[in-house]
Amino acid sequence: MYKVAVIVGSARPTSSNLKLAKALEKLAAGKLSFQYLRIDNLPFYDEALWDNPPEVVVQLKRDIAAADAVLFVTPEYNRSIPGVLKNALDWPSRPYGEGVWSHKPAAIAGATGGASGTAAAQAHLRSILPMMGLALMGAPEIYFQSRPGAFDENGEITDERVRTNLTIWVDRFSDWIARFATPATEVAARKAS
């Protein structure tokens, strides 16, 4: 089973993006195991902090390096990604030459109450991730409109058609990871060279 590091771009406990991630986790049961990485406790990026890097930063890098893939589930803030998410992208990309994003299979999803379903935020994220070397799945996409009643009391997505599409999405992401996941032996060889 592939280990997926999940990064949610919203810190609030009632986040609709966290709910969407949890719904995807249920649909992926038996195929993917989700590990939720905390990003709201990271300091703002500061190059000087690498002299004595904060443990939360070191741990985030370790967790990403240990994952087979990364899933970003993000809200849209003012037609882009939230600052907390951008900060969490920047830390693991450094120090130069020691980033942990490179070659990591990845996918994006997003939820908002708005009709655009975070399309603008996702477009920005799509311009960032490949530049950092992630192997980003282009399609299918998830633009989730989080209307009242979109999730039931168990966190299940109420719209059956949407649930079916998300099940297909999970299968495609699993296939994507199988195609691009770096075997542990190769990672070790890269580190040694």
Interface residues toward ligand FNR, by CB under 6 A: 10, 12, 15-17, 75-79, 112-114, 116
Q: Which residue type occupies 126? A: R
Report the nearest approach of ligand FNR to the CB of residue 78 (Å).
Answer: 5
Report the nearest approach of ligand FNR to the CB of residue 75 (Å).
Answer: 3
Whichever of 43 and 113 has its CB closer to ligand FNR, that residue is 113
Report the nearest approach of ligand FNR to the CB of residue 79 (Å).
Answer: 5
Residue 175: partners with Cβ closer than 8 Å, 6 or more residues away: none
Whichever of 127 and 193 has its CB closer to ligand FNR, that residue is 127
Separation CA 96–CA 179 (nearest Å): 27
Separation CA 173–CA 2 (nearest Å): 11
Report the nearest approach of ligand FNR to the CB of residue 80 (Å).
Answer: 8
Separation CA 103–CA 193 (nearest Å): 16
What are the angstrom distances between the C-alpha of 150 and each of 32, 111, 138?
Answer: 23, 11, 25
Whichever of 65 and 119 has its CB closer to ligand FNR, that residue is 119
